[in-house]
Homo-oligomer: A and B are copies of this chain.
Amino acid sequence: MEFASDNHAGISAPVLDVIAREGARHGGAYGEDDVSENAQAMLCDVFECDVRSFPVTTGTAANSLALSCLCEPWGSFVCGDSAHVLRDESGAPEFFGHGMRPTPLSAPGGVIDVAVLSETLAAAAPDVDDVHRTPFHAVSLTNLSELGGLYSAAQTSELTEVADRHGLGTHLDGARFANAVAATGSAPADLTWRAGVDVMSFGGSKNGAMSAEAVVFFDLDAAETFERRRKRAGHLVSKQRFAAAQLEALLTDDHWLDNARHANEMAGALARGLAQIPSIELLGAFQGNMLFIETDRATTEAWQDQGAVFYAEGRGPRQTARLVTSFSTTTAQVSTFLEMARDLASAGQTEQSS
């Protein structure tokens, strides 16, 4: 019962197939090959516009490289206070951006409220030319957020309008973008450039790939220095066609969305099941592939004792558990987990009432 992370999963069959296919033949290095060209063309199709896209192997690289194209070293980007770029990348944005500063905003569920963004930027506006300050140059959103929250196309638009008004570029961390598309039912274009996003990290690794993300620029000018930055950060892979091929596999016949829909459905099934257990509280109204629940420590520990793998936080008697599903989560795993949870809950009730 593996619910720890979608990056604990293996790789999906079409991804393995293209790796096998490329493994058996020669090809140009450093992205000068037909697979890389094809992946670029497919991303243009998926996003219904002319993009510039660049495969990389990690989300941290994708985010940091993208942000370094939007934000000067003496500038700052705003992000949610649970953002991966803030909390989980060991200061990679600062490294890639030569010292640019992340400024966290309070963001319940990992979703930045437009009023909070608006106030923050308005408060800083009078100092934007003050050489002593670190002016805001960019905003970074995460959709699906790190806490499972979802931005609709409309919400995204509202935020980028505020950003735009203050001259900020917008980055979207889309490590779980597929799950966001599946959850909203919106077109990829509607959740990104039509909503004002300038550049995104398009995630593959959490959605069935082995190690493939793409930095996708909708604002083509913003990509100007990207290739130099990627190369000197060691993120231009020699056999890059293997990364491109993984993206190709995901994008072919909507495989990426199938994977994400499946993961979301599994999380939905978990949520519906757990909602019926009185001792468990679902946190947030999340529709993606991540579920946050609150329950007592005895419960989370009992689950783990019975073989469930997931992260739990909290040092007191109550804990927050994060359950993540992936393309490879099975209905059987969900059923087994729910059954176990129900059994433990009723055993616990019996115990309490006896």
The residues of A with any CB-CB pair to B shorter than 8 Å are 2, 5, 7-12, 15-16, 19-20, 22-30, 56-62, 64-65, 72-74, 76, 87-92, 94-102, 131-134, 205-206, 210-211, 225, 227-239, 242-243, 328
Contact = CB atoms under 8 A, between A and B. Distances in A.
A131 B227 contact: yes
7 closest Cβ pairs, A-B complex? A61-B234, A94-B99, A11-B23, A60-B234, A7-B238, A90-B232, A90-B231
B74 A90 contact: yes
A26 B92 contact: no
Given A10-B22, A16-B19, A29-B5, A232 B91 contact: yes
Given A89-B231, A234-B61, A7 B23 contact: no
A91 B95 contact: no
Contacts of A92: 231-234
Contacts of A94: 73, 94, 99-101, 232
A328 B26 contact: yes
A88 B58 contact: no
B8 A236 contact: no
A263 B211 CA distance: 28
Given A59-B238, A73-B95, A29 B11 contact: no
A2 to B, nearest CB: 5
A26 B8 contact: yes
Given A58-B234, A211-B239, A239-B7, A90 B22 contact: no
Contacts of A65: 234
Given A20-B16, A91-B134, A233 B231 contact: no
B7 A29 contact: yes
- Please state the number of chain copies in the assembly: 4
Given A11-B23, A133-B90, A239 B210 contact: yes
Contacts of A23: 10-12, 15-16, 210
A11 B210 CA distance: 15
Nearest to A7: B238
Given A74-B90, A210-B239, 13 more contacts: A8-B29, A9-B26, A12-B23, A60-B234, A60-B236, A61-B233, A73-B91, A74-B228, A74-B229, A87-B133, A95-B99, A99-B232, A206-B238
B211 A90 contact: no
A71 to B, nearest CB: 11
30 contacts: A5-B29, A7-B239, A9-B26, A10-B26, A10-B27, A11-B22, A11-B239, A15-B23, A19-B19, A19-B210, A23-B210, A26-B328, A58-B234, A60-B236, A61-B233, A61-B234, A61-B235, A73-B91, A73-B95, A87-B132, A89-B232, A90-B133, A90-B228, A94-B99, A96-B234, A98-B99, A99-B232, A131-B227, A131-B231, A211-B243
A20 to B, nearest CB: 6
Nearest to A315: B126
A77 to B, nearest CB: 12
Contacts of A62: 234
A238 B225 contact: no
